[in-house]
Amino acid sequence: MSALFVWQLRFDGDHDLERAFHTLLEADDLDGCSAEPDALRIRFTATGARGEELVAKVYAMGALRWCSRHPLSPPGSGHDERRQHLG
């Protein structure tokens, strides 16, 4: 089983958040996905490779301001946190 990560995406506006959220909901292999409209943020869980694919797809749509990835594994298990600043 591949390691799961929590991906956090932040956007510049409501429309961008809504488009990205609908794009992520079309992916039937996510373990979870939630939107926080007031914070212009989406969080979802996925494996590393699948999450990278989805983030690239959302990034290509434009207006992705920030992205981070955090392991869902216990501390000290060897998985590193990775952050990306976009734009």
Which residue in this structure is represented by tokens 């999450």?
51
Domain segments of the chain: what residues? 4-85
Report the C-alpha gap between 35 and 74 in whole angstroms.
Answer: 25
| CATH architecture designation of domain 4-85 | 2-Layer Sandwich (3.30)
pTM, to two decimals: 0.79
Cβ neighbours for 45, distance < 8 A, ≥ 6 positions apart: 4, 5, 6, 7, 30, 31, 32, 33, 72
How many other C-beta atoms are found inside a 10 Å radius of the C-beta of residue 51?
Answer: 20
Report the C-alpha gap between 9 and 25 in whole angstroms.
Answer: 14
pLDDT in tens, 22-81: 999 999 888 889 999 999 999 999 998 999 999 999 999 988 999 999 998 655 555 444
